[in-house]
Structure 1
């Protein structure tokens, strides 16, 4: 029986992205999924700028853009009255090549990912269930069951990645606690087609409507007159703890239509999908145990406020992919170095997951709490204050940085190279985007590899080029322009970039061989 490098369990967006990156890095893997087909409904809708930057790395960003919709604005309504319009458009201008919010249904997103994976000769093994696995310390032995004929088989792998969602079998076998709470409000999501009529809610923009203690979010999809409805119903015992095992109250679209019509008055022609569920905010106590890794919803789950869940999972997958590839392709690397690099997956991604869960928990609480203060926030402070504060570019930039995940930083990562000089950019930060008259500094970030960016000519070119050749690091030297300084880059400095575009080290003068020890 042959041994593969990685067994990927779960073929949602997170598992598919992990598979794509591992394939590009030359890693031998299998990807299995218990379902019989890809997603058949829209589920997650938003793809943020940071994900598009990383998709550009493998020439996938333009394809998503061709199928998506850039949300131009969002509106706020209270008890049927229009209170504010907040233009989103190019909210992140000057910060990224993708300064907008892209709407693309998850089923289409998954179709694009899987089609790309298939074009590379890799196919998802569907209707295949992970029955269990063991970690011997030197490898993983997993038992797989075909749901077509019930036949068991054994898969030997070096590592296993659980991308199998909130009810993860990998996490259960791993024994990691999934700590957090369940929200009392019941969420419902529907994709509907509307009647053709004159209405301010059919203008291609987003709409957030408040009435009493509930809210509705209306998001336009690319298809004409097709929209996503998101809302809550808040039980009277909202302050009581919820048993996770209790099923949510039975909800149908018909039962929530009165609330929808009260807040927006929209008329629904067809319903393509309706789902009701309780939201959770939970983070696994460990993202790694030995040769086992948790990725995406298997590691963290939270409310859909801000559209962060799928994007966070995709970032997990890319972070893990290059680290697994590094240790697999460098067998001479010491066990200490391997563990340091693989442990950094947990330290970097769990810390970010906790911050995302905290932020979305706060947002969800504001949107759904029945108390007087929360009611005042929804009906007075948010509708009237939001359009005022978003007039300022600094406020818009901060909102975009946080919402688009450009804010993600790993300054405390154990694999950063020490850097004692000051500056806006530090090891662990995302490389800032700088557009110049000729091009931009992301133009070299094609392929998945380490790179050295030099801004100016402060380092001896011949010595630096030799060092980069010896270390198999791609070298890019940029003529200094004022725009580089405006985004925080230093003149005459060299920036060592990880394969996921984060700064691993900054070198103002001499580049020493130790700068790649983290690899």
Structure 2
């Protein structure tokens, strides 16, 4: 019987990221996908700053930036008239080394990830799907079906992770509800090429608001190529079952059907259509993300409207959160079963709470853009177009908008892995480490390794270096600078960082080493 540490079902971005992060930590993985080949078309397009930051851990950031397109601005149009130009690159300048929204079609993104995985000696087993699995308490046995020759194979694994999308076989296997509903309108997505002289193909994003709905044009790397996203008005009177298949397609709607309304709203010249698809979007979150040795990640665990481009990014964050925790319990054989369970349980606690917030915010955004009635009409055609450029004049507003949209806002305050201590500073245990760049250094330059580490901004306390040597924890000391204070960091304080760059604890005083020992021992963790 073939064996592996982690069996991954699904080779989309979440599955590939999970495999890469586990392999980097010395974990054996086997990854399968029922598709014959990597996708040639895709829905997800936007990669947010938090993902670009985390890709540093595998040296993927430069590769990603080389093929992606950095959106410089968003434009708002109403009734064919240009109402606002919002420069996006000014929003996150002091928050991250990557203060932009990157566009990269999901299929190209997947190819980048799969090439890296293959270079490391791990190959996706294609045309293979999960039939069922049994959790024996100490291991998983999974039955896989190879569609090529209809043969079955039983795999033995320590853990199984479902990255297999909205119809997840792993989610069905753990018997959890997928609570939520379907949106009535059908989305459509079209990859188009257009006239390079058109304002809609100038390398910037464009949002067109109408009485009935919205249209979104997002460029990507190839010149004159863009993604057109909208809601079809041709299906207003259609009946629908909100519990229907999660990727329900509407084959009767063609690009020719929606083209008249697109041209009327956008006055856009489309020279070529490369791909067109319709689908009914859902907003759902699984009741649980874990059952003993089985986990679900990404769309298998949560699904929401495409407003804000949050779906793929949230799934990748799931994968990275889970990867270091699985690696820890597999490698640290001295951990007690209770400590392992608590660490793995923190995956669901942390990621489900964030998924609920994302689903709520994207649902609000979608409702705002598609609701009918007098007030939604006024909101879309008068309030948003005129208010947006005004509020973005203020630096605080720009900062908060970028934090929310780029997933920098994600925090694990209150998690069992976050130090339970009163904190009066701006930065709390559970927060992402703030980025601070000085003339001498950049505090994110230390984050390429997937490991626990300590940061001190100012003077290190006597004995801390010896503690780090004894515990095999990396210590980085930065000369104090006013930029650290502006980022919310405190002088001479010890910041304990998790392997995914979140602050586990903030320690100061005369007994830092003892407090650090208590943090790890109380959670049954080694460094």
Superposition TM-score, scaled by structure 2 size? 0.95
**Structure 1 counterpart of 2:136:** 136
Gaps of 5+ in 2: none
SS of 1:408 mapped into structure 2: coil
Q: Deviations over 1:146-182 (max 9, x none)?
A: 1100111100001000000011011011111000000
Distance 1:411 1:72 in 2: 32
- What is the aligned counterpart of 1:388 among 370, 387, 390? 390
Say whether 1:324 aligns with 2:323: no
**Structure 1 counterpart of 2:435:** 433
Q: Deviations over 1:233-292 (max 9, x none)?
A: 244359987442476472110000001100112222221111101110000000001100
Distance 1:267 1:7 in 2: 47
Change (3 A) 1:118 1:249: closer
Change (3 A) 1:240 1:172: closer
Change (3 A) 1:241 1:128: closer
Contact 1:83 1:383 in 2 (8 A): yes
**Structure 2 counterpart of 1:109:** 109
**Structure 2 counterpart of 1:152:** 152
Q: CA deviation at 1:482?
A: 1.1
**Structure 2 counterpart of 1:219:** 218
- What is the aligned counterpart of 1:515 among 513, 519, 522? 519
Contact 2:414 2:420 in 1 (8 A): no
Change (3 A) 1:35 1:465: same
Distance 1:326 1:237 in 2: 53
Contact 1:340 1:415 in 2 (8 A): no
Distance 1:247 1:226 in 2: 24
Distance 1:466 1:239 in 2: 69
SS of 1:434 mapped into structure 2: coil
Distance 1:439 1:100 in 2: 21
Q: CA deviation at 1:419?
A: 2.1
Change (3 A) 1:439 1:230: same
SS of 1:511 mapped into structure 2: helix
Q: CA deviation at 1:214?
A: 2.0
Number of residue pairs matched?
Answer: 516
Distance 1:51 1:180 in 2: 26
* Aligned-CA RMSD value: 1.5
Contact 1:218 1:227 in 2 (8 A): yes
Distance 2:445 2:221 in 1: 29
**Structure 1 counterpart of 2:191:** 191
**Structure 2 counterpart of 1:499:** 499
Moved over 6 A (4+): 238-241
Distance 2:105 2:304 in 1: 19
Gaps of 5+ in 1: none
Say whether 1:273 aligns with 2:275: yes
Q: Deviations over 1:469-515 (max 9, x none)?
A: 22221111111111111111111100110000000111112222122
SS of 2:444 mapped into structure 1: coil
**Structure 1 counterpart of 2:421:** 419
Contact 1:170 1:294 in 2 (8 A): yes
Contact 1:185 1:238 in 2 (8 A): no
Contact 2:161 2:297 in 1 (8 A): yes
1:70-469 to 2 correspondences below 5 Å: 70-196=70-196, 198-234=197-233, 235-237=235-237, 242-245=242-245, 248=250, 250-460=252-462, 463-469=463-469
Q: Deviations over 1:373-426 (max 9, x none)?
A: 111110000000000000111000000000000000000101222223421111
Change (3 A) 1:64 1:247: closer
Distance 1:68 1:88 in 2: 16
